[in-house]
A and B are shown apart, each in its own frame.
Chain A
Amino acid sequence: MAELTSTLAKPQSGEQDAARRQRRAAWALTLPAVLLMGVILLVPVAVAAVLSFTDFSLGNDSFNWVGFKNYDRLFTRSTYAKMFVATFTYVVTVVPISVGLGLGAALLIQSITHLREVYKTIYFLPVMATLLAMAIAWEFMLHPSIGMINRTLELGCGTVLEHIWPFMANGCVQGFPVWLGDKRYAIWVISFIGIWQGFGFNMVLYLAGLTGVHRELYHAAEMDGAKSGWERFRLVTWPALGPTTVFVVTISCIRAFQVFDTVEAFWPQGGGPNKSTYVMMFAIFEKGVQQNLIGAGASITVMFLVFVMILTLIQRWLVERKVHYG
């Protein structure tokens, strides 16, 4: 009997050994990647999360635990209220418009036969340019007295435009806006620059998505009675671009949450007129780097991570549930 069990057990233990060896080898092989991921991704996030509960400053030997005080400030101080307003205004403006323009440009470029590459390059140029350098160019253009934009607007004075457009009438009498110095305009100016800079990227993603739409589907739609371009867009193009749209919207949202360079270039000391462009990234920079309030900076960073995490989860849910046709 003992013999029997031992002969039975032997191959089994051999199998177990093999399985264990394989597991060990698998862990050993993934270890460098796991270590790297921990050290450069997870540990910094954890450190930021921990620091957000302290009043740590760089250079100090010790710190005090302050509990939720940093977070409490985030939701009670008016500066932070302005931060959320500026950030969300920017995101809500830039994302739909840059996605819409990207899709529109992609559809237009797709529909032409000549000069495709030229248009693609032109629309993609702002994406390739350094935003900081571009911000300087924009600063000149937006200058209230010598800037190209106000100079151009002044040309409209005395024409019919003055009578039909109240903004023009107002500007001709009282002077055109100080674009970067007026809290009514500042956030819209950086939103505009964000759209100008970002939609070319979305266009390229949509162009890639459009190449994946089966040509025969358009013919089928035509045979089925979809006569107008709009009907064919609704029946074929838009559903086929579903996965692309989810990706484009998510990427655009994350990029919009990350807006920083324009704000830093235009208003290095403090987030625009009356903090109207005090976006999250700039707040993190100001608190954490300029003022060395690491705890406060960390708490904004954690908030930022939460927003991005929510967006990513929504994207994953949409990709898995709604737009995956298999």
Chain B
Amino acid sequence: MLSDQERIVITGIGIASPNGTNLAEFRESLLAGRSGVVNYETRYMGPVLAGVCRFDELRYQKKKDVRRGTRAGSIAVYCANEAVRDSGLEWDKVARDRVGVYLGITEHGNVETENEIYEISKFGYDTKVWSHHHNPRTVANNSAGEVTLNMGITGPHLTIGAACAAGNAGFIHAAQMLRLGEVDLAIAGGVSESIHTFGIFASFAAQGALATHEDPTKACRPFDTDRNGIVVAEGGGICTVERLSDAKARGAKIYAEIIGYAMNSDAKDFVLPDSNRQAECVRLALKRAKINPEDVDIVSSHATATEQGDIEEATALRAVFGGSSRTVVNNTKSFIGHAMGAAGALEMLGNLPSFDDGVAHATINLDNLDPRCSLPNLVVNQPRELGNVRIILNNSFGMLGINSVLIIRRFE
């Protein structure tokens, strides 16, 4: 039995999703089947589909800060401030040197580098017009660093490069640092600005893994026989994370407890996932949480709507949860696309309100289930009333074979 000093809880939530700029909006969209995927113009490539966020950047930043910083930084600043505001923390009284910022990110610097190359192309590739802002914009700690600048946080900050497993990784690192006593409050989650560079889209297209559809809202189709790839999205999901003892002491609202997590590596392929290692990762997280598969109410799947990726995850989930008749599986990417570094965070947070409303949102755009992706309790197209939801398991996997699993429990 863990002590309250070792138990880690989520106490504030900030959201920038293509279909919601706070948790209530996001949840409402997920239950209503509202997509955030739209037609989107890219430089060089022309029109693609993307999940685009529409939050107010200037709520917490000056125009100058937006100009000097990055989109990832603005997303992070917005979500971090929203989380702190939601947490009820008296920010003026918080010891800023005891706050850590840990944000997962899939990639960083592509957007800013592409922009600068485009800019110098207008000057005959004269590198003398290359911006002095390039380096502070592209350092890998940029988004977490912008949060510390904006909020006056003097504790440690890191972005955690973990491909598309990064959202979970931010929370995992936060839990570890809190347990080690390195910080007393963590601002953690994941962010993505990836839609602002053509390269992400072009590379998925070259790989045959970029979704197309005449109706943008139907483009992201995990587990469907007609799925044809990924819809790239931007976004952020950031939480205040604390030790239970601290949260209790200040009478905080507690959204959930992080009861288990795991990360591992496939050690197999640059892009193709491996169901065996994914299943191992899920089992390790369950073991650490001291629960069995049948204790999990909802599995928030990672599935991105690629041919092989969906098959591998479904195989892993069947292997672990095949004996659990009560565990349901859903998918949030089908609504918003793949928010890359933010995906794991947004997908966990989109499910979290089920602790209160007892409903599992669906995976949408599933008209014809690929039999290779068959899962016994997939929540198809319409939300499902579950009643009592206590435990959610959140999968997030990424390139180079990086796997992450986070398990949260309703706080009782």
Task: Decide if A and B are genuine partners.
Answer: no
> A residues near B, CB below 8 A?
none
- Which residues of B line the A interface, CB within 8 A? none
